[in-house]
Structure 1
């Protein structure tokens, strides 16, 4: 029997094409893989940059519905439910798909915080400042310049590597998900809400780079603590000395191998 297919979900500001090394590695290990972009993403980095307005007002619920549709359209083509790997906001989306039973298991890498998280480190605020500093950004896309990217993503990298990643992979990101996440604890029906006490879900691996500025370690540990109060299968892994760029920088394979080992241990 073939392994479960794997869907990779990117986060804000990074195009889905950046998953290509992961796709190649997972294919080598026998998995069927895909990395669909968000609704509004172009097929390439350049195409997305040229039509940034296509991502205006794309929020968390829209993104979840998009990936649910992708999974639904593939139903029947595989013997088993897909498993997902999500980074940043993709990690939040992965948790929502898992909670609704659409996927069999999920790895959430430095995931955007879910509703209920109270930690708000200064580094996280500074990383989100280019978007949240202007209320008008709620309805439009925002791009990070190289300096902003170096702080939010590449803070443990050389400036040269950070700038190369910025030039190669960054795309405009919709502001709406950040505004929705920032206001999650003040909204009864927040799209960032996940039932962490639900026992009837597949296994979840939460990971965090210890030096992440965009989603600091403290935040992901708090999310893990919320899940740990329930009875579902939840594990946590720290990547020492790694920042938010850990899925695309020179050390990406170390992160990918942890995901592969965990899926194997869980029988996927």
Structure 2
């Protein structure tokens, strides 16, 4: 049976942003899908015009949404997530639903202690208004430039904003920000599993949204388990590393790593 792959996007991106990855993984012999989050419409344009249906969804609700899809596949998939999608991918791995996990510059799970100023600056887009807990929040071009495309040339940053940026639910940002004060935090994962699949965590050396220190600490937590936990630093990358013109380097590394651990 062909190994399924489930791609999980993060905040401010649409599920169609994974399409180049879907095409590449299909060419490489996998059976990939990139489902939307709950309430997410078919296009970026629709999401920008009417973001309301996406509001209020948190980490557990999104993870449950993807778990239902996984349970219909007939085989454990590889789960690949970016940013908050990377956090949700770890939740799914922790639930025993993934054969392997690639968490690309993932949002912090419960227990991650570093709180870089740049991360707080990005998260403040939602956290400064409690109403965003039940609603959606978008990024201005300047906020996008800081949070996603700070290493890209101006023309590419503008093109990516116009093609990819959309509002997203604010609740996950509140959940991540206060997780270490909440015993029942939805961002909590089982860090001592003996039999989980291999986990690859990536870090971008110039990522403002999820700095490399967050990714490294996430990996440190996961190493409480004897299962495989690997870290890959892309030293020149920002948070747009799954969608910018150099996305293929990250995707090729993930493919090579999966084959190294027999998930192909």
TM-score (norm 1): 0.96
- 1:255 Cα shift? 0.3
Matches within 5 A, 1:130-145: 130-145=125-140
Q: Secondary structure at the match of 2:256?
A: helix
Structure 1 position 123 matched with structure 2 position 153: no
Structure 1 position 157 matched with structure 2 position 156: no
Name segments (4+ residues, structure 1) moved above 4 Å: none
Q: Secondary structure at the match of 2:225?
A: coil
CA distance in 2, matches of 1:157, 1:94: 27
Q: Secondary structure at the match of 2:66?
A: helix
2:49 paired residue number: 50
2:163 paired residue number: 168
Q: Secondary structure at the match of 1:262?
A: helix
TM-score (norm 2): 0.97
- 1:103 Cα shift? 1.1
1:109 paired residue number: 104
Tell me: CA distance 1:85–1:41, structure 2 relative to 1, closer, same or farther (3 Å).
same
CA distance in 1, matches of 2:58, 2:228: 28
CA distance in 2, matches of 1:15, 1:41: 8
Q: Secondary structure at the match of 1:108?
A: strand
CA distance in 1, matches of 2:80, 2:158: 25
Matches within 5 A, 1:99-248: 99-248=94-243
- 1:205 Cα shift? 0.3
Q: Please, which runs of 5 or more residues in structure 1 have no aligned partner?
A: none
CA distance in 2, matches of 1:16, 1:230: 31
Structure 1 position 64 matched with structure 2 position 59: no
Q: Deviations over 1:142-201 (max 9, x none)?
A: 110111000000011112111110110111110000001101001111000011121220
CA distance in 1, matches of 2:32, 2:168: 24
CA distance in 1, matches of 2:222, 2:15: 28
Number of matched pairs: 263
CA distance in 1, matches of 2:22, 2:121: 32
Aligned-residue Cα RMSD (Å) equals: 0.9
CA distance in 1, matches of 2:224, 2:43: 41
2:79 paired residue number: 84
CA contact (8 A) 2:56 2:169 kept: yes
- 1:30 Cα shift? 1.2
Aligned with 1:93 (options 88, 95, 107): 88
